[in-house]
Structure 1
Amino acid sequence: MKTIKKLLTLGLCGGLLISSVLTGCSNSKKVVIGSKDFSENIVLAEIMAQLIENDTTIQVERKLNMGGTFVNFEAIKNGGIDIYPEYTGTGLTAQLKMDVINDADQVYEIVKSEFDSQFGVTWLDPLGFNNTYAMGVTAEIAEKYNLEKNSDLIDVASELVFGAEHEFFDRQDGFEGFLEAYGIDSFKDVAKMNTALKYQAIGSGQMDVTDVFATDGQIVEYNLKILEDDLGFFPPYYAAPIIRNETLKKYPELIAVLNKLGGKISDEDMTALNYQVDVEKKSVEEVAKGFLESKGLVK
């Protein structure tokens, strides 16, 4: 009887051990993808997540819409996330605290080298589009004040209300730097708001000038005039996946998988994806899947 009990106990323990091992194996291959709190970055993160799920056996945990640049950057440094989409200009000015450089290739090589050595983070291939900052005004304001380029704001800024998201006021390549570069004393008034509100505000006439990303879908929705950055203040902002070096040691196949996106997203592509989400109100998952299928990256 004792022998039977012992065998049953061993069998139970063995079953639990096997179950534990299998459970551990099933959960061991996982990466966490994060994103910032605006549609474009969320869509890019979802595209990356779906591509990894399609091409590998790695499970993907999504932490999308986390917050601004600082939140995502701290998370990837401390291991809270493994991957997120970043922009070269942001890496240069906001994270490395370097001065603006206008040569796109030079900026990429700098952030790639410095992120690797300082933070243990790898920049993969750029996705193709340049979502640089720009200044946008409504067609009515552009016509009224004859605005074509940023320097046209110098003489009329005191008559105009400027508004932007909070982060724009905290960046070297943001509000204060812009005023200094163009010799603008001040605007009539300045408003800080959440990213989601600024297009509604300029569209409804609550403000006259705002910062935009060149690929924002709302530029089309609100028929905004993009002013030429005639003094070249804003650096290039080429998007790319960035990933922890520790993660790449575990899953080196992610380099080849995510680099399939290299050069695949044009400015026009990204604007269209943003428009689908922000204006047509399609789901991020649907838009990401449609893009991957259109490029032949998934079936």
Structure 2
Amino acid sequence: MRTAVIALVTALVVSSCGLEPASGTVLKAQPGSIERYDSLAGVPITVAAKDFTEQLILGNMLSIILEVAGADVTNMSNTPGSFGVRQAMLSGTANVSPEYTGTGWINYMGHEDPIKDPIGQWKAVDEQDRANGLTWLEPSPMNNTYAFAIRESEGERLGVTKLSDLARLDRSELTFCVESEFASRNDGFEPMLKTYGLSRPQLGQVTNLDTGVIYTATADGECNFGEVFTTDGRIPALDLRVLEDDRQFFPLYNLTEVVATELLDAHPELTEIFGQLNPKITNDVMLALNARVDNDGEDPALVARDWLVKEGLVSVD
């Protein structure tokens, strides 16, 4: 969601052939704690979500609960990249999307310095985006940010649970796998090392790898510490231990819904609907749901509906 490659590919897609997301159907469900609203009957709402596992699950969640609530939903999950979704929201092609506060602040609005308080970060991105006709609702606890992970057995041997533990390790143990973009970001590798009292000369081997390869390389012991995203389903599948960012270096990427302000003004009940959903979405929840898709091969839409049913938000016959 935050890589330069995605941004470049998206820009090419949008500029060369227009915005052409792959739309999906909306799985049928019945009301649960999410009730049907007469005020939403037939109201057209288009949900845009990005083209990776977590966003496919979330886009389908939003589509299902909005249709249960009575809206006439178009599901544009699988829209190419962050900036594809952003363009859809700015142009009015879509009017609801699942989004991350850090993505809005850093990628869309161009700020270099994140705000470390989750409520402060949400309020700042919401306030600035109101000028674009978009409102950010109060976010969930889920924070899909950068982190470092170690295989569980090695973490146990070294006694590491948080990033500040790294400073006491021998140089030979300080081996890292990182993606090339992360290595050069102002919220990336070297500033992180500085925050935790380390520098490159103090490290052992540092290997640049593609993001997806880092997980298996870390699990296989090619490096002790691999750069990961905190809600990636491969973390539990590969028995990796995520280290606590105890000095709060990494930006906050809390999940919420971005809603066209015009739509929200006309239908303030949307705040009530999403207010039932958001508090339930934690990192542990998202890890488990992502793993069902990435590791078990399940369909994102079915995973989304199953969880909504389990939580009592919707029901099925």
Scaled by the length of structure 1, the TM-score of the pair is: 0.75
CA–CA separation in structure 2 for the residues paired with 1:166 and 1:78:
33
Q: Is the 8 A contact 1:86 1:241 kept in 2?
A: yes
2:17 is aligned to: none
Q: In the TM superposition, what is the alpha-carbon distance from 1:54 to its structure 2 partner?
A: 1.9
User: 1:130, 1:237 within 8 Å by CA — same for their partners in 2?
Assistant: yes
User: In 2 relative to 1, CA 208–51 (structure 1 residues): closer, same or farther, beyond 3 Å?
Assistant: same
Aligned to 1:35: 50
Query: Relative to 1, partners in 2 of residues 1:258 and 1:139: Cα closer, same or farther, differing over 3 Å?
Result: closer
- Return the alpha-carbon distance in structure 2 between the equivalents of residues 286 and 166 of structure 1: 35
Residue in structure 2 matched with residue 90 of structure 1 by the alignment? 103
Q: Shift of the alpha carbon at 1:209?
A: 1.7
Alignment TM-score, normalising by the size of structure 2? 0.72
Corresponding residue SS for 1:281: coil
Assess, with a 3 A threshold, how the Cα gap between structure 1 residues 136 and 121 changes in structure 2: closer, same or farther: same
What value does the CA root-mean-square deviation take over the aligned residues? 3.1
Larger Rg: 1
Structure 2 unaligned spans of 5+: 1-41
Gaps of 5+ in 1: 1-26
Residue number in structure 1 paired with 2:207? 190
CA drift of 1:203 comes to 2.1
Bigger fraction of residues in helix: 1
Letter of the 1:238 counterpart: N
Following superposition of structure 1 onto structure 2, how do residues 1-299 of structure 1 map, counting pairs within 5 Å? Answer: 29-37=44-52, 39-64=53-78, 66-67=80-81, 69-96=82-109, 97-117=111-131, 119-143=132-156, 145-154=158-167, 156=170, 160-165=174-179, 168-169=182-183, 171-186=185-200, 187=203, 188-194=205-211, 196-248=212-264, 254-299=270-315
Query: Any conservation in 1 of the 2:88–2:94 contact (CA below 8 Å)?
Result: yes
Deviation by residue 1:165-194 (Cα, 9 ceiling, x = unmatched): 566456543334323323432252231414
- Gap change, CA 1:191 and 1:83, over 3 Å in 2: farther
User: Could you list the per-position Cα deviations for residues 191-215 of structure 1 after superposition, in whole angstroms to 9, with x for gaps in the alignment?
Assistant: 1414x43322322333332223333
- Identity, in percent, stands at 32
State the shift of 1:80 in Å.
Answer: 4.9
| Structure 2 counterpart of 1:34, one-letter code | A
How far apart are residue 283 of structure 1 and its match?
Answer: 1.2
**Aligned-partner SS, 2:187:** coil
Q: Aligned-pair distance for 1:223?
A: 1.5
Q: Could you tell me how far 1:65 is from its partner in structure 2?
A: 5.8
C-alpha deviation, 1:110, in angstroms: 1.4
Residue deviations 1:5-63 (CA, integer Å, cap 9, x gap) = xxxxxxxxxxxxxxxxxxxxxx99351422252x2222111101111222223131323
